[in-house]
Amino acid sequence: MKTRRLTMAQALLEFLSLQWVRRDGRESPFFAGLWGIFGHGNVAGIGQAVQQMKGRLPYYLSRNEQAQVHAAVAFAKHKNRLQTWACTSSIGPGATNMVTGAALATINRLPVLLLPGDIFAHRYPAPVLQQLECPQSLDVSVNDCFRPVSRFWDRINRPDQLPASLLEAMRVLTSPAETGAVTLCLPQDVQTEAFDYPEYLFEKRIWTIPRQRADEGLLRAAAQRIQSAKKPLIVAGGGVHYSEAHQALKALVELTGIPIAETQAGKGSLLYDHPLNLGALGATGTPGANLLAREADLVIGVGTRYSDFTTASNTAFQNPEVQFVNLNVAEVDACKLRGLPLQADAKTTLEELAQILPGYQADGVYRERAQKYNQEWDAEVTRIYQNGGQGEVIGVLNEFIRPQDVVICAAGSLPGDLHKLWRTREPRAYHLEYGYSCMGYEIAAGLGVKQADPEREVYVMVGDGSFLMMHTEIVTMVAEGIKVNILVLDNQGYASIGGLSKSLGSDGFGTKYRKRTPDGLTGEPVEVDFAANCASLGAQVFSPQSSQELKQALAQARKIQNQPVCICLKVDRRQRVGGYESWWDVPVAEVSDDPEVQAARKSYEETRAARRP
């Protein structure tokens, strides 16, 4: 057997550069490159190997290890999980900075490969700088934190362990059902150790992404449930995008007259102006979607994991006779809510369902109601777009950008407003991370999406609270000459949680940026000059004071190339977009001396009684 003598780090990167994926006859490299920050735990191993690769696996320097994972995950999401990045860090804090990104990736079922440096495998110099000493075991390091948030985890304690671990890592990363964060911990001494690796490890390897078909008997059972339904409703989740099932979904909707509602991840599955698109579902949903969900006798979940925001904390589907058909590549999701599980690819299965449902139509009156709700909601969106506050900012941006341009968000009050208000005119133009709803994701994600699709303009909407947590990748954009438009909305604190606090009777305690007084954080507002902050990082900055000035700033920003743009504007935290026909379960204190909390608790107990068992 032919072999090649390489260090473990050299063999690892050579292998990654040769991994490809194929779906529907189209092939592409699986790894776009390597994000990293070098330290003593990876500079001599991974760092040397990257330099020796001479660009065959492009290396990009991030400014924060968590941010580099967010950029990689956003890239993978926009690429429908067919391509991603590897991310490397040193040991200690560099590694644990990536744990949040790993959790985000796994929760959202998005592939990313993490390569944190680790302590010495031979243990002679222990405890080394940044090593956690565990009295129960000498085999523990801070990298064990990655175990619960990774779909696959391994520590390469000898260079000859690498081949088996790499193949298992690729199996998980390219599996539509199992994908998420994969973590390979790399002891710093082992990275530099040489081994005679088999030559076959360095041959181009193509991983086929299968389009799994549903069990024939279950497929026919699902068709029978649909044919028996009077008020069916499709819940479109992120799986519609990942499967590229948009046309198949549209064809089934138009064949059967079944209306759809969309999750955060599924928004854009059907364009906003399709008459049978009810829009957002659940706690951040539209009136029509939530009213029909309440009546539905059959719910067809396509690529959704039924999070609590989608099900309105299990209060959305109130029909006592309601049944579920769940189409999902992941068995755990296909079996939720005691549904009939179609564990299969969305595109293929929707096409097959259409073939065995000839002549079926949802109830005519029911269809007409769905169309009426679609028209009424469109009129309500127009009203909100003209009514000031955050809703008006969303409206100005939505009406300005091109259909193919991408809006990005993750946390705060913006996701709820965007879910309801954003008019999607192209399937991949709406990018929300709402599985982990991670503050700090947004700006790094903008970088990742722009790398995934340079021809689109990318617009990040980020609140002041999230901006202050992580904005360092603006520097990376400057260094790489990457243009991302960042709208920073300053509402003087955590407006979303402030509103939630008020609804629970607590009056927004601890959610405003205020100077300390003897009574607590109740003094003058803490003013942050976000425009100066962004300019100091190298961005081109605009500070509009009105909707007209915002339109002008957006027009000027469109002309700028190869440089990030920040548009900083203040919004009134008190002017909010309300909820519609829905609920989200946030427990209220059972005992309190505050009458407002007592009233909120009473309302909470009455509402939660409607939850499905």
Residue 20 DSSP code: E
The reply to whether 222 and 198 lie within a common domain is no
Q: Is there a single domain that holds both residue 525 and residue 472?
A: yes
Q: Do 464 and 335 share a structural domain?
A: no
pLDDT of residue 175: 98
Specify the pLDDT at position 582.
81
Q: What is the pLDDT of residues 277-309, one digit of tens each?
A: 999 999 999 999 999 999 999 999 999 999 999
- Is 77 part of a structural domain of the chain? yes
Q: Which of 272, 338, 348 is nearest to 306 (CA)?
A: 338
Same domain, 204 and 220: no
Does the pLDDT value for residue 374 go beyond 80? yes
- pLDDT per position as a tens digit, 142-163: 999 999 999 999 999 999 999 9
Structural domain contains residue 576: no
At 255 the pLDDT is 96
Query: Does residue 507 have a pLDDT over 80?
Result: no
Same-domain status, 364 and 235: yes
pLDDT of 101 reads 98
Does 318 share its domain with 431? Answer: no
Candidates 175, 209, 229, 208; CA nearest to 353 is: 229
- Secondary-structure percent of the chain, ordered helix, strand, coil, rounded to 5: 40, 20, 40
551 and 589, same structural domain?
no
Q: Which residue has the tokens 């690498």?
A: 162
Mean pLDDT on 36-56? 95
The mean per-residue pLDDT over the stretch 252-272 comes to 98
Q: Which of 175, 208, 241 represents a domain boundary (last residue)?
A: 208
Residue 583 pLDDT > 90: no
With beta carbons less than 8 A apart as the criterion, state whether 247 and 369 touch.
no
Q: What is the pLDDT of residues 211-250, one digit of tens each?
A: 999 999 999 999 999 999 999 999 999 999 999 999 999 9
Looking at residue 498, what is its pLDDT? 63
Among residues 56, 73, 80, 69, the alpha carbon closest in space to that of 115 is found at 69
pLDDT at 132: 87
Q: Which strands form 340-343's sheet, in the order they lie side by side?
A: 277-280, 260-262, 232-236, 298-302, 323-328, 340-343
pTM: 0.95
Residue 311 CA to residue 470 CA, distance in Å, equals: 31
Residues 29-50 as b/e (b if ≥16 CB within 10 A, e otherwise) read: bbbbbbbbbbbebbbbbbbbbb
Render pLDDT for 466-491 as a digit per residue (tens, 0 to 9). 999 999 999 999 999 999 999 999 98
Neighbours of 204 (CB within 10 A): 10
Nearest to 31 by CA among 69, 58, 71: 58
Is the pLDDT at 392 greater than 70? The verdict is: yes
Q: Is the pLDDT of residue 500 over 80?
A: no
User: Nearest-5° angle of CA 527, CA 531, CA 535?
Assistant: 135
Please report the pLDDT score of residue 575 as a whole number.
64
More confident residue, 501 or 408: 408
Residue 486 lies in a domain: yes
- In the predicted structure, residue 137 carries a pLDDT above the cut 70: yes
- When pLDDT is cut at 50, 70 and 90, the band that residue 526 belongs to is confident
Domain contains 383: no
Identify the domain boundary among 208, 228, 262: 208
- Cα separation, 355 vs 90, in Å, equals 54
CA dist 602 and 551 (Å) reads 45
Q: How large is the average pLDDT for residues 266-282?
A: 97
Contact 60, 109 (CB under 8 A): no
CATH of the domain at 371: 3.40.50.1220
- Residues forming beta bridges with residue 325, ordered by sequence position: 300, 340
Q: Which residues pair with 181 in a beta bridge?
A: 112
In a domain, 244, yes or no: yes
| pLDDT number for residue 409 | 97
Q: Residue holding tokens 């001479």?
A: 54
Q: Who has greater pLDDT, 413 or 162?
A: 162
Nearest-angstrom CA–CA distance, 592 and 314:
27
Residue 203 shares a structural domain with residue 226: no
pLDDT at 496: 64
Tokens of 180: 């998420």
Number of domains composing the chain? 4
Asked whether residue 575 is domain-assigned, the answer is no
Average pLDDT of every residue of the chain: 94
Q: Is the pLDDT of residue 505 over 70?
A: no
Confidence check: pLDDT of 138 > 90: no
Instruction: Check: CB of residue 37 under 8 Å from CB of residue 66.
Output: no
In a domain, 94, yes or no: yes
Quote the pLDDT of residue 597. 82
Q: What percent of the chain has pLDDT over 70?
A: 96
Alpha helices in 356-509 (DSSP H): 364-385, 389-400, 414-421, 441-452, 464-469, 473-480, 495-503
Give the range of the structural domain holding residue 154, as residue numbers without chain letter. 3-208
Shared-domain flag, residues 185 and 220: no
- What integer pLDDT is reported at residue 491 of this predicted model? 84
Give the pLDDT confidence score for residue 1 in this predicted structure: 84
pLDDT of residue 594: 84
Domain finish residue from 310, 344, 376: 376
Q: Given pLDDT bands bounded at 50, 70 and 90, which one contains residue 523?
A: confident
Residue 356 shares a structural domain with residue 275: yes
Helix axes 389-400, 547-559, angle to 10 degrees: 40
Q: Are residues 455 and 594 in the same domain?
A: no
In a domain, 382, yes or no: no
The CATH number linked to 420 is 3.40.50.970
Same domain, 481 and 541: yes
- Percentage above 90 pLDDT, the chain: 82
Beta strands 194-198 and 3-7: pairing type? antiparallel
Per-residue model confidence as pLDDT tens digits over 65-106 = 999 999 999 999 999 999 999 999 999 999 999 999 999 999
